[in-house]
Structure 1
Amino acid sequence: MMGAYQAPWYLKDGLWQTTATSYWYGTAWSWWGDRVPWLAGYPLIPWQEHVFEGADGVPLWGQWASPPKARGTLIINYGITGQTTTAWYAQTLARKAYARSWAVCLYDWRGHGQTGERSPAPSSDGWREGEDQVRMAEQLVALGCPERVSLAGFSLGGQLALWGLKAAVELGTPFIQSAAVLAPNLESNRSLAYLRTTPGGRAIEWMLVQEIRREAQKRRERFPEAVKPGAVERITSISSYDHEMVIDYYGFLSVADYYQKTSGLYLLDTLALPYLLIYAEDDPMFDPALLPEIRERTARNPQAQLLMTQGGGHVGHITQAAGKEDEFWGLNRMLDFLGNLI
C-alpha cells in the first residue's frame, strides 16, 4: 500500500472535511452524474439492472456489470441514506474497481431506493443484510461474475459489509472471501449519544433525520399496513426512527437492544475472513472513546488490517492528487487491499 494519509491544509478539520466533501462531491454528482470530472479518465460501466432475492425472500434492486476477463466481484454498500443513483462515493468506487477489471454490483439495501418500493422490510443495520449479501453473491456468480467475491461499504454500509463476512462463514458460502470498509458505523448506542453532545453532531443528525423521515413517509404510502399510526410524525431522531420502523418488525426488545446486537464493533475480533478497516480519529460521527477498543479488537484478529489515520473525517480521506494517485486515498487503499487478495 502507498504512504500514510495526509489531509490537505484546507481539509485538516474532520467536521469540515466531512461536510465540505459531502456537499461538493454530492452536488457535482447531482449535476453531472456518471460524467463527473473526477471520473473522466475511467470507462463508463454498462450497467444491467437486476432484482436479486435476499434473505427471507426480500427483493433487492441492483445493477451489475462484469468486464471481459474480470478478476473478482465486488458488492458495494452505501451509507445510511440515499440510493444507488445518488451514492456518489459508491459510484466512484464502482468506476475505479471496474477499471481494475472487477465485476461490480451496486444495490439498494433494505428500505432504500427501488428496493424500498418493492418491500416493506426495513433496514436492520446488518442483521439481515449480511445474508442478503450472501444470496446476492450466489446470484451474481450464477449471472456469470467471478466466484471470488469481496464486499465494500461506507459508514453504516461498512457495518453491513462486516455482517456479510460473518454471514458468509455461518452460511458456508464458498464465494465471499474478503471485505474493505471505510468509516464504518461500529457502536450505535455510544456514537449516537456522542453525536448529540456537539452542535455539529446535532446538525448532522438533524439532516439525516429529514432524509429518513422522507423514506418513512414513502414506506407508509406504499405499505400502510406496515407502519403504525402516527409513526412518521414521531420520528425526531435516528433512534426514534428505529423505534418506530425497525425493532418491532425484527423482534428486538428495545432500540438499545437492537443497537447492541447489531453493532459491528463486537465482530472485529471474531471475523474469520480478511478485511480492511479504514477509520479516522477525527471522524465527527462517532464517539472517539471507541478508538482504543477498535485498535484492541483488530489487533487480536489476524484477519484484520486496520488503517487508523489522524485525519480524514467521515467517509472522506480526500488528499491532494500526486502522480498516479488521485484524491481518493481511502478508495484506493480499499481496492489495493482487495486486489492483493485475488
Structure 2
Amino acid sequence: MKPCAQSPFRPAWWLPGPHLQTLWPYLVRPYRSLALRRERLELPDGDFLDLDWTAERNAPGLVLVLHGLEGSSGSAYVQRLLRRLQPLGLQAVVMHFRGCSGEPNRLARGYHAGDTADVEFVVEHLRQQQPQRPLAAIGYSLGANVLLKWLGESAERNPLRCAAAVSVPFELEAAAKRLEGGFSRVYQRSLLRSLRRSVARKYAQRDMPIPRHIVDSAPSLRAFDDRFTAPLHGFHSAEDYYRRSSCRPWLPYIRRPTLIVHAADDPFLEPCAIPSNAELPSGVELQLTPSGGHVGFAAGRFPGRTEDWLGPHTAHWLARNLG
C-alpha cells in the first residue's frame, strides 16, 4: 500500500478551524485581478465556452485551469494561481464552464460535476493549436472532480503531461450531505444564491423545460440538483447524478502524474469520502493536510498578514512536472 504523502502546509495560528481557513481568502484580496485575453470557443452542439488566457504567449508550458461551482477566472483561488505561474514561465488558460463567464450559454443545458466532454474538447483544441507544447491541468472543487474523472476515463490515452486537483468532492453524495449540516449550510446558501442568479439570467434569455418556481423553491443543493441539474443533463435524480458523476471510482485508472491537495477538515465533504491509499495508483500523490478548509490553506505568522501557500505549492509542482 502506497503511503499518503504529507504536505508541509502549516495553517496560520490565528485562523484556526475549517471555516476561517475557507472564508479568509475570499474576504481579503490585496491585489487587482490580472488582465486576461478572452477567446470564445464554439462547440459542436451550437453552444460556446469562453477561455481566458494570461499573456505569456511564448511560455514553454501551458496550464489549463478548471474553476469550481459558480466560479470563474476572477475567483480568488484562480487569480492567486495565475500570479504564481507567471514567474515560473508558464502560461495559463482558464476554461469557464458553460454559463460561468458572465453570459448565459445558449442551450438549456449547463454544466455539472461529471461533464468531462467539454474538458476533452478544450484540451483537443489546445493541442491542435500548439501540438508540441506540453500541457497540464489543475482543477478546484467541482472542477477537480471533473478533471480527476476525465483522467480516469481516458487512462493511458490522456494527453496531459500532469495534473493537480484541489479540495475534491470525491463523492458528490457525501458533499451534498456535508453542506446540509452545521455551519456548512452557510456555504450552501451562498452557492444557492449564485445558482439562482445564474438560472434567472438563463430563464430571461430563453424558454426552459422546467418551471422556474420549482427551481427557485429548492431549499438545498441536493434539491436544486434533483429539480434542475439532473433532469437537464439526462440523470434520473440527484442520487443518480451523484453516483454517475463522482470521481472516486475513477481514481484507480489515472495514468498521469497527479497531485491531489485536500484538507481533512474540508467543510464541503464528509471525511469518510476521502479515498484510501489502496485506491490510488502509483502516479497519484494525495497530500492530505489535517486542516486547510475548502480551497483555503492560509498560512502566515502574523495576524492580518496571510501567506498564500496553495498557489505557489501547486504552481511549483506543475512547473516541475511539466519540465
Equivalent in 247, 251, 255 of residue 264 of structure 1? 247
Q: Which amino acid aligns with 1:187?
A: E
* TM-score, structure 2 normalization: 0.88
2:76 matched to which residue of 1? 88
Classify 1:213/1:50 alpha carbon distance in 2 versus 1 (closer, same or farther; 3 Å). Answer: same
Deviations, residues 287-317 of structure 1 (Å, cap 9, x unaligned):
01223x344322xx11200101111111011
2:261 matched to which residue of 1? 278
Give the aligned CA root-mean-square deviation in angstroms. Answer: 2.6
Percent of pairs with identical residues: 22
Q: Which moved more, 1:117-126 or 1:4-13?
A: 117-126
Q: Which amino acid aligns with 1:60?
A: L
Equivalent in 46, 50, 56 of residue 61 of structure 1? 50
The alignment status of 1:16 with 2:20, answered yes or no, reads: yes
Deviations, residues 175-227 of structure 1 (Å, cap 9, x unaligned):
423210111121111221133221x0112211111111111111111122344
1:157 matched to which residue of 2? 143
Question: 1:133-172 alignment to 2 at 5 Å?
Answer: 133-144=119-130, 147-166=133-152, 168-169=154-155, 172=157
1:180 matched to which residue of 2? 164
Deviations, residues 217-239 of structure 1 (Å, cap 9, x unaligned):
11111122344342332322112
Q: Which amino acid aligns with 2:51?
A: G
Q: Which segments of 5 or more consecutive residues in structure 2 lack a partner in the other structure?
A: none
Classify 1:105/1:168 alpha carbon distance in 2 versus 1 (closer, same or farther; 3 Å). Answer: farther
Classify 1:252/1:335 alpha carbon distance in 2 versus 1 (closer, same or farther; 3 Å). Answer: same
Q: Contact 2:54–2:91 at 8 Å: present in 1 too?
A: yes
* Distance (Å, rounded) in 2 between the aligned partners of 1:145 and 1:87: 29
Q: Contact 1:220–1:227 at 8 Å: present in 2 too?
A: no
> Secondary structure at the residue paired with 1:10?
coil
The alignment status of 1:341 with 2:318, answered yes or no, reads: no
The alignment status of 1:33 with 2:22, answered yes or no, reads: no
The higher relative CO (CA closer than 8 Å, separation ≥ 6) is in 2
Q: Contact 2:64–2:138 at 8 Å: present in 1 too?
A: yes
2:279 matched to which residue of 1? 297
* Distance (Å, rounded) in 1 between the aligned partners of 2:206 and 2:310: 38
Classify 1:229/1:206 alpha carbon distance in 2 versus 1 (closer, same or farther; 3 Å). Answer: closer
Equivalent in 118, 123, 126 of residue 132 of structure 1? 118
> Secondary structure at the residue paired with 2:120?
helix
The alignment status of 1:236 with 2:219, answered yes or no, reads: yes
Q: Which amino acid aligns with 1:104?
A: A
The alignment status of 1:194 with 2:178, answered yes or no, reads: yes
1:211 matched to which residue of 2? 194
Classify 1:231/1:332 alpha carbon distance in 2 versus 1 (closer, same or farther; 3 Å). Answer: same
Offset, 1:52: 1.7
Offset, 1:168: 4.5
1:41 matched to which residue of 2? none
* Distance (Å, rounded) in 1 between the aligned partners of 2:95 and 2:263: 26
How many residue pairs are counted as aligned between the two chains?
Answer: 315
Q: Which amino acid aligns with 1:272?
A: R
Offset, 1:132: 1.5
1:100 matched to which residue of 2? 88
Classify 1:277/1:3 alpha carbon distance in 2 versus 1 (closer, same or farther; 3 Å). Answer: closer
Q: Contact 2:38–2:52 at 8 Å: present in 1 too?
A: yes
* Distance (Å, rounded) in 1 between the aligned partners of 2:100 and 2:270: 26
Classify 1:332/1:321 alpha carbon distance in 2 versus 1 (closer, same or farther; 3 Å). Answer: farther
Q: Contact 2:141–2:166 at 8 Å: present in 1 too?
A: yes
Q: Contact 1:60–1:115 at 8 Å: present in 2 too?
A: no
Q: Which segments of 5 or more consecutive residues in structure 1 lack a partner in the other structure?
A: 35-43
Query: More helix per residue: 1 or 2?
Result: 1
